Amino acid sequence: MASVVVRDVSLNFGVVEVLKSLNLEVEQGEFIVLLGPSGCGKSTLLNCIAGLLDVTDGQIFINGKNVTWEQPKDRGIGMVFQSYALYPQMSVEGNLSFGLKNQRLPKDEIEKRVKRASEVLQIEALLKRKPSALSGGQRQRVAIGRALVRDVDVFLFDEPLSNLDAKLRNELRVEIKRLHQRLENTMVYVTHDQIEAMTLADRIAVMRNGIIQQLDSPHAIYARPVNRFVAGFIGSPGMNFLAGTLEAGSSPKFKAGDATIETGGYMFESRLESGTQAIFGIRPEHVVIGEQAKAMPYTTDVEIEIVEPMGSDTLAWTKVGGQNFTFRIDSEFAPKVGEKVKIGFDPARASIFDANTDIRL
């Protein structure tokens, strides 16, 4: 049974359409990540699911119940916010039990739930402290605990790790994953961080301008992006895009400047017309150099223009067919500026898009 269903939901702020007839189905126990740049409507969608914003049109179901008109507290959700949103005047215990007291649960039940949640999140020692006496990571743990004590089926996370430093973010990311494996709740998680999305999600919904561009497993989104936006948004450093034309035939060729790429192994989604303006996308990490390059279906000789060492590997900038092109190599074998190297890649791993519609070909 689907745990959360969003059906044809639209939301307008005045004349601005934030969500446009959006559909989403989240399975029971699934971890869904809503991923997109700022202003794409991902947090808005989460707020709609939580009931903190009224939708302009459409319906929202949680556990088979139409909750479109329900108050947030009656929807069976727990929510974790980016700024933690802990009540500053209450102790950790007060924060955890606030929602339960509002539900008028018996005292021993409240105590039991607070105890269980604080054990799960290892914050038992902090129960008497005020939020101001906690570190960022501890605060976020308490915020998660506040959702946990509510004993709900659906967890909503609104960029919960964005306020933490990089190291803590990695730690808590693993902890959230562990929590999901242990609780097996449905989780809807909003982020603009693709690493979080890739590592946590069962499925990722990449959003732009209030529309879900692609809803798929992390691997599919990485390997077979449906359009140029998704291709460019996922992956760091970003995918190389070469503009050129496609020539149809038994083995279609892509031409960009002086470069001609045989697209033999590439699985086209649709029939090709000759002379289509197209964008050829290949990820920097799928490019190899030197001996390895010789084994690739496509090879070319290039001159290195800029190198950016990033520790584990190095990003090298060059030109292919007169257009900027980057590739990623092990820092041990990094070329120098001005050096001429042979690079190669397998067009089967590439993504080709229509230059006019940006849709995958």
Partner 1 sequence: MANTGTLNLTAAAMDPVAAELSGPRGPRPRPTFSRRNIFLYGALIVVALYYLLPLYVMIVTSLKGMPEIRLGNIFSPPVEITFQPWVKAWSEACTGLNCEGLSRGFWNSVRILVPSVVLSIAIASVNGYALANWRFKGADIFFTILIFGAFIPYQVMLYPLVIILREMGLYGTLWGLVLVHTVFGMPILTLLFRNYFTSLPEELFKAARVDGAGFWGIYFKIMLPMSLPIFVVAIIIQVTGIWNDFLFGVVYTKPDTYPMTVQLNNIVNSVQGVKEYNVNMAATLLTGLVPLFVYFVSGKLFVRGIAAGAVKG
Q: How far is the CB of 181 from partner 1 (least distance, A)?
A: 24
**CB closer to partner 1, 132 vs 270:** 132
Q: Give the contact letters, 160-189, x = binds to partner 1 (CB under 8 A), - = no.
A: ---x--------------------------
Q: For residues 351 and 361, what is the distance between their CA atoms, to the nearest angstrom?
A: 8
Q: Which stretch binds partner 1 (CB under 8 A): 28-36, 73-81, 181-189, 285-293?
A: 73-81
**CB closer to partner 1, 118 vs 300:** 118
CA distances from 325 to 80, 281, 309, 317, 344 (A): 40, 10, 16, 6, 12
Site for partner 1 (CB under 8 A): which residue of 3, 82, 186, 227?
82
Q: Which stretch binds partner 1 (CB under 8 A): 68-76, 187-195, 262-270, 313-321?
A: 68-76
Kindly report the number of other CB atoms within 10 A of residue 279's CB atom.
25
Q: Give the contact letters, 31-50, x = binds to partner 1 (CB under 8 A), - = no.
A: ----------------x--x
Q: How far is the CB of 343 from partner 1 (least distance, A)?
A: 45
Which region, left, alpha or beta, applies to residue 161 given φ > 0 means left and ψ of -120 to 50 means alpha? Answer: alpha
Cβ neighbours of residue 42 under 8 Å, at least 6 residues apart? 34, 35, 36, 190, 192, 207
Which residues ranging from 209 to 248 are in contact with partner 1 (CB under 8 A)?
none
Residue 240: which of 209, 293, 213, 279 has the closest Cα?
279
Q: How far is the CB of 105 from partner 1 (least distance, A)?
A: 11
Which residues ranging from 87 to 146 are in contact with partner 1 (CB under 8 A)?
87-89, 98-99, 102-103, 130-132, 136, 139, 143, 146
Q: How far is the CB of 21 from partner 1 (least distance, A)?
A: 24
Q: For residues 10 and 249, what is the distance between their CA atoms, to the nearest angstrom?
A: 43
**CB closer to partner 1, 51 vs 321:** 51
**CB closer to partner 1, 73 vs 178:** 73
Question: How many helical (H) and strand (E) elements, i.e. helices and strands, does the chain have?
Answer: 9, 21
Cβ neighbours of residue 7 under 8 Å, at least 6 residues apart? 23, 58, 59, 60, 61
Alpha helices (H) along the chain = 42-50, 92-102, 107-120, 136-148, 166-183, 194-200, 218-223, 228-233, 291-294
**CB closer to partner 1, 47 vs 118:** 47
Site for partner 1 (CB under 8 A): which residue of 26, 32, 40, 79?
79
Cα 103 to its chain centre, rounded Å, is 34
Residue 77: which of 154, 189, 190 has the closest Cα?
154
Residue 245: which of 272, 283, 282, 284 has the closest Cα?
272
**CB closer to partner 1, 82 vs 300:** 82
**CB closer to partner 1, 29 vs 99:** 99
Q: How far is the CB of 85 from partner 1 (least distance, A)?
A: 4
Query: Hey, what are 137's tokens?
Result: 């990571």
**CB closer to partner 1, 3 vs 43:** 43
Residues of this chain that bind partner 1 (CB under 8 A): 47, 50-52, 71-73, 77-79, 81-89, 98-99, 102-103, 130-132, 136, 139, 143, 146, 150, 158, 163
